[in-house]
């Protein structure tokens, strides 16, 4: 059974902290994505990666960075967390053959 896992389901951080969200997929997918989901705004793409060490900005990259050192792992980094980054963060992966997304369970991040 295919799987995308995220490091935490719930996370509470303080303003100014550095936050790492990790995502791992076991499907050998080339593409990986980070979205955030907010009420009324839907899913918005933050960053995506189509290969190891490659990354592309999505629609809302400001305040975020990413790292993809290994094919199966895609990390989202909040360099200095702010309250407006409180959100549900969803990771997804997709292959060249399977163009639909496989999503992780999400991390609900609260920044106080």
Can you give the binding site for another protein, defined by CB under 8 A?
Answer: 4, 30-31, 33, 35, 40-43, 45, 48, 50, 56, 58, 90, 92, 94-96, 99-106, 108
Q: Are 36 and 46 in contact (CB under 8 A)?
A: yes
Q: C-beta of 26: minimal distance to another protein in Å?
A: 15
Choice between 53 and 99, CB closer to another protein: 99
Structure tokens that stand for 67 in this block? 């790292």
Query: What is the nearest approach in angstroms of another protein to the Cβ of residue 96?
Result: 8
Q: Which of 89, 91, 92 minimizes the C-alpha distance to 110?
A: 89
82 or 90: CB nearest another protein: 90
Cβ distance to another protein smaller for residue 2 or 14? 2
């Amino acid at each position: 059974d295919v799987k995308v896992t995220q490091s935490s389901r719930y996370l509470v951080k303080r303003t100014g902290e550095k936050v790492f969200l990790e995502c791992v997929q076991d499907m050998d997918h080339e593409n990986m994505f980070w979205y955030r989901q907010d009420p009324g705004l839907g899913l918005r793409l933050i960053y995506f990666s189509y290969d190891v060490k490659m990354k592309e900005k999505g629609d809302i990259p400001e305040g975020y960075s990413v790292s993809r050192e290994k094919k199966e792992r895609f990390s989202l980094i909040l360099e200095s967390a702010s309250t407006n980054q409180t959100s549900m963060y969803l990771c997804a992966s997709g292959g060249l053959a399977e163009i639909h997304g496989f999503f992780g369970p999400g991390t609900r991040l609260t920044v106080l």
